């Protein structure tokens, strides 16, 4: 008799193409987007009295055990599907399917949402440049790009572009992601330098150069006149604001889901992924501190006026959405340079799309490879691209863009939960791995013990705490309709899982053998 094939086939067909550089970059490129560039200054309005610096510092500390667990588990189990593989092999296949299903649902929508948001940012940047002296033409272009229908069309174009890159193979995705990361990274470092050499006095002078004589003073006076009070620092409010940095860290684990396509994963996740996370931690805290260092209380006043008295603010200067690139660009005193900074920094939104698309694609691929979805979904091209899982991801991302266009809040409201859901499971896997799967634990780069307890289990303990904190943040604002949607999506997914179990049993496939070992690399 021939050798029994328990998986969809004997080899994954994927190609190991990602290097140390890619693992390092993806650790912070995938998450860095709206959390630091938009919500860090909006915090002055939504959480008055919070310290953005301490919020991002504490948030990064909370996520750090999860990052360590991701690095250790990737080194021990470097397979396409990342967290799904870990959970299904160490805990239970049904739990792994559930978490993977929820992830694909939410992350796929997020791809379309990011493309939709980016065109709005681009439109705002061009509008700002036009009002700052480049002329009415750019104002018109910016306003056109900011319209919902154009943003929808633009989002679909981006989805199709990245889908084409996926079909060309991981090598094409690698180079696109490098370009889309190095540009905003370099500009963000420049931006930090701009903030560092300014104070509220010099910031006021530069603000007036760009937006008109006395505008900075008028905004301060207007806020005081309309009743704005500078809030005192509050630890309670700072802790309440942790939703912002935790959101800013979503997708920090994206590269784990393509770990089967990483060269020398045992070394890459030890020497590149953890330093990448640490760089993101530094960048988050530095920007959160420096933007307020440069502007002081002016940020709180501007953001407050923008959100509560937009008409009054519009009487002083054009209504420009407050963001880190807006405040940095203004300090150049030049509308063109300000627009360039805003556009370059906005690439943080775009460079989140390729990793997130690959996460969805590889989870679908892994589910299919385990026969939890039809085997067709795990087919790959000659370039090593899983064509059907890529296609499903692209289609779902377009649905996400349409959802963003329609503003369906009941769906958008559960995205935090879908992106946080795997986190606590990472911790449990790490805690029990040495005891449940000792043969896999032996592959981990960390074999130390303290008082007989494996260090990976100790780190896993803290990761469980961190993971649950993140999940609670994701569901704390759920309403009844969001609860119903989450329940229905979960039930549909588990029904598919049950149907596939029945189908496999009817074919005489011993499903227990599938989950008893890691899939082929």
Where does the pLDDT of residue 4 fall: very low under 50, low under 70, confident under 90, or very high at 90 and above? low
Q: Which residues pair with 455 in a beta bridge?
A: none
Q: For residue 120, what pLDDT is reported? A: 80
Structure tokens at 481: 């309709």
SS3 category, 4: coil
Q: Is 350 exposed, middle or buried (0-12, 13-18, 19+ CB in 10 A)?
A: buried
Band the pLDDT of 349: cuts 50, 70, 90.
confident
Which CATH code, of 3.10.20.740, 1.10.760.10, 1.20.1740.10, 2.160.20.10, is assigned to 20-514? 1.20.1740.10
> If you average pLDDT over every residue of the chain, what do you get?
91
Q: Do you know the residue count of the chain?
A: 521
**8-17, 242-251, 401-410: range with highest mean pLDDT:** 242-251
Question: In angstroms, rounded to a whole number, what is the distance separating the alpha carbons of residues 18 and 29?
Answer: 15
Sign of CA dihedral 309, 315, 320, 324: negative
- Phi-psi category of 218—alpha, beta or left, where left has phi over 0 and alpha has psi -120 to 50? alpha
Under the banding of pLDDT at 50, 70 and 90, the label for residue 80 is confident
Instruction: Look up residue 519 and give its DSSP letter.
Output: P
- Tokens 């119903």 — which residue? 484
Q: Is the pLDDT of residue 494 over 60?
A: yes
Binning pLDDT at 50, 70 and 90, where does residue 1 land?
very low
Alpha helices, DSSP H, located in 370-454: 387-406, 409-412, 415-420, 423-436, 438-441
Cα 386 to Cα 15, 80, 139, 168, 363: the distances in Å are 11, 11, 42, 10, 11
226 or 135, which is more confident: 226
Mean pLDDT over residues 426-454, rounded? 94
Residue 309: predicted pLDDT: 95
For the chain, the structural domain boundaries read 20-514
Task: Return the DSSP state at 133.
Answer: I
Reading the block at residue 109, the tokens are: 């929508």
The pLDDT tens digits for 127-141 are: 777 876 778 888 888
| Separation between Cα atoms, residue 335 and residue 344, nearest integer Å | 14
pLDDT in tens, 109-120: 999 988 888 888
User: What does the block give as tokens for 45?
Assistant: 């309005």
Find the range with the poorest average confidence among 214-223, 398-407, 510-519.
510-519
Q: Span 151-158, mean pLDDT?
A: 93
Q: What is the DSSP letter of 80?
A: B
């Amino acid at each position: 008799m021939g050798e029994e094939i328990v998986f969809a086939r004997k080899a994954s067909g994927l190609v190991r193409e990602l290097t140390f550089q890619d693992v390092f970059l993806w650790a912070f490129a995938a998450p860095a987007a709206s959390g630091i560039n938009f919500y860090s200054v909006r915090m002055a309005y939504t959480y008055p009295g919070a310290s953005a610096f301490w919020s991002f510092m504490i948030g990064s500390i909370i996520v750090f055990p999860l990052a360590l667990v991701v690095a250790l588990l990737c080194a021990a189990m470097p397979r396409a599907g990342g967290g799904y593989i870990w959970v299904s092999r160490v805990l239970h296949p049904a739990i792994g399917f559930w978490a993977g299903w929820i992830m694909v649902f939410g992350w796929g929508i997020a791809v379309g949402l990011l493309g939709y948001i980016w065109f709005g940012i681009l439109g705002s940047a061009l509008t700002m440049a036009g009002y700052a002296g480049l002329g009415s033409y750019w104002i018109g272009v910016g306003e056109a790009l900011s319209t919902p229908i154009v943003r929808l069309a633009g989002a679909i174009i981006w989805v199709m572009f990245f889908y084409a890159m996926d079909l060309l193979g991981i090598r094409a995705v690698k180079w696109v992601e490098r370009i889309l990361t190095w540009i905003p990274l370099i500009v963000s470092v420049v931006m930090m330098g701009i903030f560092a050499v300014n104070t509220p006095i010099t910031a006021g002078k530069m603000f007036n150069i760009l937006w008109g004589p006395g505008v900075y003073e008028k905004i301060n006076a207007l806020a005081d006149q309309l009743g704005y009070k500078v809030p005192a620092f509050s630890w309670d409010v700072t802790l309440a604001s942790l939703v912002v940095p935790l959101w800013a860290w979503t997708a920090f684990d994206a590269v784990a889901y393509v770990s089967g396509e990483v060269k020398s994963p045992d070394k890459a996740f030890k020497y590149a992924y953890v330093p990448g996370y640490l760089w993101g931690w530094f960048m988050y805290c530095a920007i959160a501190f420096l933007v307020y260092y440069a502007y002081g209380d002016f940020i709180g006043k501007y953001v407050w006026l923008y959100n509560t008295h937009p008409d009054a603010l519009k009487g002083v200067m054009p209504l420009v959405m407050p963001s880190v690139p807006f405040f940095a660009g203004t300090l150049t005193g030049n509308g063109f340079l300000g627009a360039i900074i805003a556009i370059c920094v906005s690439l943080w939104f775009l460079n989140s799309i390729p990793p997130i698309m690959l996460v969805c694609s590889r989870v679908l691929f892994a589910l299919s490879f385990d026969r939890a979805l039809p085997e067709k979904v795990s087919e790959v091209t000659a370039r090593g691209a899983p064509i059907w899982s890529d296609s499903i991801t692209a289609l779902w991302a377009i649905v996400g863009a349409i959802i963003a266009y329609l503003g369906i809040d009941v769906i958008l409201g559960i995205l935090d939960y879908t992106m946080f859901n795997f986190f606590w499971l990472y911790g449990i896997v790490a805690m029990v791995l040495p005891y449940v799967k000792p043969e896999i634990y032996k592959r981990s780069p960390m074999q130390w013990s303290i008082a007989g307890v494996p260090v990976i289990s100790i780190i896993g303990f803290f990761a469980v705490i961190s993971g649950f904190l993140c999940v609670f943040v994701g569901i704390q604002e759920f309403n009844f309709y969001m609860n119903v949607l989450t329940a229905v999506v979960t039930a549909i997914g588990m029904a598919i899982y049950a149907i596939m179990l029945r189908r496999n049993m009817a074919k005489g496939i011993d499903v227990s053998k599938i989950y008893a070992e890691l899939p082929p690399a």
